[in-house]
Amino acid sequence: MTRETPEVSAGSMADVAFLLLIFFLVTTTMAVDSGIMRKLPPPVPDDIKAPPVKTRNVFQVLINSADAIMVSDKTAQSASAMKEANKKDLRRLVKDFLTPRIPDNTKYPETKVVDIDFIGKYYKSKGIVSMQNDRGTSYATYIFVQNELAAAVRELRDELANQYFGMDFNVLLKADEVKAKAIQKAIPMAISEAEPVNFGG
């Protein structure tokens, strides 16, 4: 007499597996990469050449493969001299460079007088920050430098917005977009980024 093996119902196994899947999806945390919010300009046609920029109007920021940050040395005799900068000093150096100076100081960018709504005549800096990194630069250092450059511009805008409108730039942007555009015209986000190269360590 042969005994029949009882069948095992596997119908509920699919339900259990589905519930476990949902449980792990809900409780698992995903690693999120940090990034930068930046609106990129439209591509420039090939037949348009970049206008010439005087050396004194450019503040270079270079990052090598060892994550060392080199910046323009405005205290040196040579206009193209570079020096190593600490991370904590980068924002201050950029902010100092982009601050308009009257009377003219050849160690800093030229200024031009512009007439801006709500502000009047304003001495606008012609300064540009040029950033370039090595292909071996770490992502964390790259993001840090980008954030510090943007923060230097943001602090200058905050100071000007408080001077004329009594509030920080971000608050002004929500309250009155027209006045915020006047601040942006006075202090543009003059940061350019060159294609990565191999500087070495």
1 against 156, higher pLDDT: 156
Residue 102 has pLDDT above 90, yes or no: no
Q: Which residues contact 19 (CB under 8 A, 6 or more apart)?
A: none
> What is the distance between the alpha carbons of residues 145 and 67, in angstroms, rounded to a whole number?
10
Mean pLDDT over each residue of the chain, to the nearest integer: 86
Q: What's the average model confidence in pLDDT over 143-160?
A: 95
The confidence score (pLDDT) of residue 79 equals 65
- The ranges assigned to domains in the chain are 55-193
The confidence score (pLDDT) of residue 15 equals 81
pLDDT digits (tens, 9 = 90+) for 169-186: 999 999 999 999 999 999
Residue 4 has pLDDT above 80, yes or no: no
Say how many CA atoms lie within 13 Å of 100 toward its Cβ.
Answer: 17
Is the whole model's pTM more than 0.85, yes or no? Answer: no
pLDDT digits (tens, 9 = 90+) for 22-38: 988 888 877 665 566 66
> Residue 107's pLDDT band (boundaries 50, 70, 90)?
confident
Q: How far is CA 58 from the centre of its chain?
A: 17
